[in-house]
Amino acid sequence: MAHTRWLDDEEQHTWRAFLTANRLLMDRLDRQLQNEAGIPHTYYEILVRLSEVPGRTLRMSQLASSAMSSRSRLSHAVSRLEEAGWIRRRECPTDRRGALAELTAEGLAALEAAAPGHVEAVRTHLFDQLSREQVIQLGEISEAVARHLGGEEAWPLPRARC
Amino acid sequence: MAHTRWLDDEEQHTWRAFLTANRLLMDRLDRQLQNEAGIPHTYYEILVRLSEVPGRTLRMSQLASSAMSSRSRLSHAVSRLEEAGWIRRRECPTDRRGALAELTAEGLAALEAAAPGHVEAVRTHLFDQLSREQVIQLGEISEAVARHLGGEEAWPLPRARC
DNA sequence: CCGGAATAGTTGAACATTCAATGTGTTTAA
DNA sequence: TTAAACACATTGAATGTTCAACTATTCCGG
């Protein structure tokens, strides 16, 4: 690399504000979910994705990419959620390497119990702080970054709650 | 709670895009730093904050709030960085409860070695994907959220690199 | 000056994530 | 048809984070 393209003042300011806002927001949401539902936010996302799909069942690899998780992380997480009785593992009928993760009735109930508090926190700490225009801007910015980094698997967004 | 104020379609879309972009970006930066410098991004932030301050020394609690870290996390992190010889702990002369963390010459060298690659990644995966206008928008959005969540400690931003 | 409350920082245990290695099943191409 | 390459998922070890104690010190009201 010949010479580094350092951040200018505007970029520097944005980057630090972004890091700060992100950590504060994510820490807050994580703590809220941990207290009220006993799971971290990443586990909540897994439950959400399963809840939105017909049969409440997905292949592990599809679940991983839709929840933006590594395979290994998902495997550990599903093991943990299985112990809680919120997810059940099943064999995949069409590919014997595969595994299916199915959201149980208990898991769905737990998700529905946790959702209102979580959505309220997201609204309070994020959307209530932004104008409508900023919500749209944040969406466009996030899409640009996600597209660049190959996050298309998480789209299109099913019509669902949080 | 009477009834939940669910997210509307626009908010839903923004929220998911945001979560996706964030995880992809942060995972990418973390892996880049881990590979090239052997530390996670949170540790890098600690080194940066120390490097910007006169004497390259801060009280633990000030370092924690400027790096958006819990005290516990910082304590563990500093222990780890101390083993690497990049930080040295000192007693605080004015408050015997206190502890100072000082960036060593080796730590500064390690930071300077890691910075170009890290900045390049931030630029490639974030700023190169955004227009100038979007950079400003993201800064304003982040500021609004950070201010709401009490992140003033990370401001004002010293004039420094990344 | 004393004693209780608050503050600074650390610690260990429990939990989450990463990384590399492994086992198993499927696909591909000679 | 078979061997090599690839894909799916899991595992255990190492690392990082959280949470709830815990020690030590300082602050503050009487």
Output the average pLDDT for chain B: 93
Under 8 Å CB-to-CB from B93, ≥6 apart: which residues? none
Under 8 Å CB-to-CB from B159, ≥6 apart: which residues? A9
* Chain B contact set for A161 (CB, 8 A): 6-7, 12
Under 8 Å CB-to-CB from B128, ≥6 apart: which residues? none
Q: What is the pLDDT of residues B31-44, one digit of tens each?
A: 999 999 999 999 99
Residue B2 has pLDDT above 80, yes or no: no
Decide if A7 is inside a domain. Answer: no
Residue A102 has pLDDT above 60, yes or no: yes
Decide if B12 is inside a domain. Answer: no
Residue A2 sits at the chain B interface (C-beta within 8 Å): no
Q: What is the pLDDT of residues A109-153, one digit of tens each?
A: 999 999 999 999 999 999 999 999 999 999 999 999 999 998 677
Let me know: does A29 contact A110? Beta carbons within 8 Å.
no
Query: What pLDDT was estimated at residue A156?
Result: 57
Decide if B45 is inside a domain. Answer: yes
* Nearest nucleotide (CA of A100 to C1'): D9
Which of helix, strand or coil describes residue A13?
A: helix
Decide if B161 is inside a domain. Answer: no
CATH number at residue B127: 1.10.10.10
Q: Residue A140 burial (CB < 10 Å; 0-12/13-18/19+)? A: middle
Local confidence band at B69 (pLDDT 50, 70, 90 cut-offs):
very high
Decide if A46 is inside a domain. Answer: yes
The mean per-residue pLDDT over the stretch A94-117 comes to 97
Local confidence band at B150 (pLDDT 50, 70, 90 cut-offs):
confident
Decide if A58 is inside a domain. Answer: yes
The mean per-residue pLDDT over the stretch B103-114 comes to 98
Angle formed at CA B158 by CA B154 and CA B160, multiple of 5 degrees: 120
Residue B142 has pLDDT above 80, yes or no: yes
Q: Looking at the complex, report in whole angstroms how far the Cα of residue A11 sits from the nearest Cα belonging to chain B.
A: 7
Which of A69, A24, A70 lies closest to A44 in space, CA to CA?
A69
What stretch of H or E contains B111? helix B105-125
User: How many domains, in total, are found in chain B?
Assistant: 1
Range of the domain at B123: 23-154
Distance between CA A96 and CA A93 in Å, rounded? 7
Query: What pLDDT was estimated at residue B1?
Result: 61
DSSP states along A28-61 = HHHHHHHHHHSS-HHHHHHHHHHHTSGGGEEEHH
Q: A156 preceded by cis ω (within 30°)?
A: yes
* Beta-carbon separation of A117 and B154 below 8 A: no
Decide if B130 is inside a domain. Answer: yes
Residue A113 sits at the chain B interface (C-beta within 8 Å): no
* Beta-carbon separation of B1 and A138 below 8 A: no
